[in-house]
Structure 1
Amino acid sequence: MAIIADGLTKQYGDKLAVDDLSLTIEPGRVTGFLGPNGAGKSTTMRMMLDIDRATSGMTTFDGARFGNLDSPLSVVGAMLDANAVEPRRSARDHLRYLAASAGLPDSRVDEVLGLTGMREAQNRKVGNFSLGMHQRLGIAAALLGDPKYMFFDEPTNGLDPEGIRWVREFLQQLAAEGRGILVSSHLLSELSLYVDHIVVIGKGRFIASGSVAEFESMTGHASVTVESPRLDELVALIEPRGGRVTPTPNGIEVTGMAASAIGDLAALHRIELHELHTEHQSLETTFLELTADSQEYRSTGTGREEAS
């Protein structure tokens, strides 16, 4: 069972915001949804939840369309805009209003306030909340129906390091409980710490998907860092075997040759190694390479930006 978005397309006049996009959200894992500004991530989420009507394509939740779900909040919860709250209401009153509209008891409000660490702030007016407290309230609202699936649009945007860590650990906890999580973010290095699967889009189109490890090695830019007191001898052995060597302050960096092969070569010739490890390029580097043709604005290298 899963959420399956199939061929989602959204046309606004002459603008094609999302173009035949398909993705799957499976229970028990966090799926990261990445793309440059204007890529269509938010529009896709809104179409999946029937907030925006798709021009074509459809989404099913364990085989059912969203509009046919008997109890939508028990299937999927979402935080698409944490600031979309009446500022004069208290946190508790906001959650009670949402719970009542879905036929949920006040006891569930108490539960989600506790789960998100909001009990001490429950009677404060939302208009006085910090950004981090807004995010916690948004997550509490998404949890009201105890849903199997959850959507979060930029949940760590603007948060301090402590808030980012809390969101990261909380989403991991939700996935560990068997929930399927879809989270969009621009904090690529942060996202790589906790997602299980990644989907990248650009200009509304699918670009790539896979695990973090698969993305980091996707373009093959892995290098091996080597330190040894006999570097000259080692270089003389590596280069004839296809390894490309670049000097570093403390040793060499080798591309085109695996760390295991370098280690075997050093052992065969009894060359002592002080360091030998493989460096994969970061998720952020891979993301920028994959979406280079999909960026709405690119740096020209002259201090100016140009539209793509």
Structure 2
Amino acid sequence: MATTEPATRFTALDPLLPAPAGADAAGERVGAVTAAGRRVSGIVQRHHHGPGDTPLLWSAAQVWQLFPDADTAGTAGFDALLGELRSLVDTESADADSACVVNWPSRDAEAIRAFLDHGLAPMSALAVRTDPPPAVPEPAGSGGVTVRLAEPADFDTVLALCAATFDYTGLVAHRRRDQTAELLAPALRRALDEPATWLAEAGGEPLALAQCAWVDSTPGSEAAELLPTGLWAYVNNVVTAPGHRGGGIGRVLMDHVHCELLRPGTVGAYLYYNPMNPLSSVFWHRQGYRPLWTSWEAHPASALR
């Protein structure tokens, strides 16, 4: 197979996909053969997260992650490769807090068929927005809501808002960890040292938060494996306080934030959301985001078929 074919196929799937990363990633190479005699292969990485590791906020403690080779195509190819992954898990000890994970371009419908057949669920999606900010955003103060930059003195408020949202996402995504606040705290403290976290308030009460950053996708960088090259705005934690969701506060907040983030020279904005979350999936699509990559997972790892 010509070396240019995987890149051509990725571009045909979605023009925003970067060229596939090389097949020399660390891990164990696995392979399988389809009924038609076509060989498929990929890399499996194993991850173990301890009680104080931040990835526990979005990950199982024990993970088998499959990276299919970029030329993997067709339902039969993914079916064979996922069968090999299941055989590998069967030879090892999977805990209750475990998962099998595959991250793959969201628009590859033939792969989706295989993922579903093997018991994988769409747990997370990397979504992108390349539209400019609204020409005339809803003004700050609309409906009594004002937006301001958060400061280090707001740490307790920011932490409480971010921790509270896990009470809800724990129902529709990864289960909430007892140590959620402790895992969130270090990154939030660092984030408040940069002018990229905003609070929406009404009557002086903080009701919503958007914690953001900028990520430069440069050739060879980790970001470049998922995003086109250039400067991207990263929308990380976005939270509306319980009891105030659905009232338009998040829309006013993000209108303001997009005007701040999508400055000249920025390619666009990206974020991660849970496709099964009935609040965020609708909200972010209305905000102009659409999935680029989807993370498919089986929990526990032994649930992979």
TM bin (shorter chain): under 0.3
**TM-score with structure 2 length normalisation?**
0.28
**TM-score with structure 1 length normalisation?**
0.28
